[in-house]
Amino acid sequence: KTTLEGQHFLTLQDFTKEEILFLLDYALELKEKQRSKGANHLLEGKTLGMIFEKSSTRTRVSFETGMFQLGGHALFLSKNDIHLGKGETIADTAKVLSRYVDGIMIRTFEHALIEELAENASIPIINGLTDDFHPCQVLADLLTIYEKKGNLEGNKLAFVGDGHNMANSLIIGCAMMGIDCSLAVPKGYEVKDAIMDKAKILAAQSGAVIEQSNDPKKAVENADIIYTDVWTSMGCEDEMDDRMQAFAKYQVNQELVQYAKDDYLFLHCLPAVRGQEMTTDIIDGPNSVVFDQAENRLHAQKAVMASVMGGN
């Protein structure tokens, strides 16, 4: 039993550095046990409700598979299947589901919705992506960096792309864990001041250097990790044409990566659009670890579920 039992997992900043390190260690332990076929039915008899208001491949499959591997059950509830936000309030949905299931994972648009769900639920709520944050992804990213580099602190991560949910969660995660983080985003697509300010406060404690500019070369200079995300996130489809123009000079390609360290890691949360945010030779090249990173969603989220849903 950890102190995390019963807690929501809405953003990384709700946790301490020690708690994140605990989750990473626990994820490694569960990964090792799964590989050696050890039984791990930590959530036997428990159910996770999974609400999806946006599409998903990794989040849906890794949470559902993770619950199965932990001996529990997962319910897939798409926006077409439940009344949430249409015929029923968020508060009522939270109160009703709390009587049936032991945890809820939700992917939605506004971060305020997940906060309202959490305020009204008596079970843990896990953020499976909002417009503002994607903490499960960044937990898996930290696990990947730790496995590949042997440490978190001392690395420099360059994020080139949109100052949206991935950039927000990465800058918070890096700031907490002592990873220098340099963002390069087009004008008008920057991470909001409130999140930069929060990241800088966290960085002051860890010693990380956090910066944001409009200059991809500056961000990638001497980087250990290069990270990018789609130019058009879910919910922003109407802006696609403007975005293609705004992001044209923010592609991760051979010309840009020459400014990074030779052994840089290429990370991407996926799904990816080859030819847009990065060229095919980068994502499918020798420095790319995107599929190890995708696999780590499963292990990281098992650690989260087992901890907050009272399984360990």
Does position 165 interact with ligand NVA (CB under 6 A)? The reply is: yes
**Which residue from 117, 143, 166, 185 is in contact with ligand NVA, where contact means CB under 6 A?**
166
Q: Decide the pairing of beta strands 103-107 and 125-127.
A: parallel
Q: Tell which positions 211-250 bind ligand NVA, by CB under 6 A.
A: 229-230, 233-234
The verdict on whether residue 80 carries a ligand-binding annotation is no
Bridge partners of 127, per DSSP, are 106
Q: Of 164 and 243, which CB lies nearer to ligand NVA in the complex structure?
A: 164
Q: Tell which positions 42-81 bind ligand CP, by CB under 6 A.
A: 56-59
Chain residue whose CB lies nearest ligand NVA: 233
Q: Of 46 and 58, which CB lies nearer to ligand CP in the complex structure?
A: 58
Number of residues that bind ligand CP (CB under 6 A): 9
| Residue 113 CB, nearest approach to ligand CP (Å) | 17
Tell me the HSE value of 251 on the side-chain side, using a 13 A CA sphere: 17
Q: Of 121 and 166, which CB lies nearer to ligand CP in the complex structure?
A: 166
Number of residues that bind ligand NVA (CB under 6 A): 9
Does position 96 interact with ligand CP (CB under 6 A)? The reply is: no
Task: Return the structure tokens found at 235.
Answer: 């919910």
The verdict on whether residue 267 carries a ligand-binding annotation is no
Residues with catalytic roles: 107, 134, 137, 229, 269, 297
Q: Tell which positions 128-167 bind ligand CP, by CB under 6 A.
A: 129, 137
Q: Which residues contact residue 283 at a Cβ distance below 8 angstroms, ignoring those fewer than 6 apart? A: 266, 268, 272, 274, 290
The whole-angstrom separation of Cα 166 and Cα 168 is 5
Q: Tell which positions 100-129 bind ligand NVA, by CB under 6 A.
A: 129
Does position 168 interact with ligand CP (CB under 6 A)? The reply is: no
Residue 154 binding target from ligand NVA, ligand CP, none, CB below 5 to 8 Å by type: none
Residue 199 binding target from ligand NVA, ligand CP, none, CB below 5 to 8 Å by type: none
The verdict on whether residue 299 carries a ligand-binding annotation is no
The verdict on whether residue 144 carries a ligand-binding annotation is no
Residue keyed to tokens 């990384």: 12
The verdict on whether residue 135 carries a ligand-binding annotation is yes
CA R_g for the chain:
19
Q: Which residues contact residue 54 at a Cβ distance below 8 angstroms, ignoring those fewer than 6 apart? A: 107, 108, 109, 129, 234, 235
Bridge partners of 84, per DSSP, are 88
Residue 164 binding target from ligand CP, ligand NVA, none, CB below 5 to 8 Å by type: ligand NVA
The verdict on whether residue 243 carries a ligand-binding annotation is no
The verdict on whether residue 233 carries a ligand-binding annotation is yes
Tally Cβ neighbours within 10 Å of residue 276. 19
| Binding-site residue ranges for L-ornithine | 165, 229, 233-234
List interacting residues with ligand CP (CB under 6 A): 56-59, 129, 137, 269-271
| Binding-site residue ranges for carbamoyl phosphate | 56-59, 107, 134-137, 269-270, 297
| Binding-site residue ranges | 56-59, 107, 134-137, 165, 229, 233-234, 269-270, 297
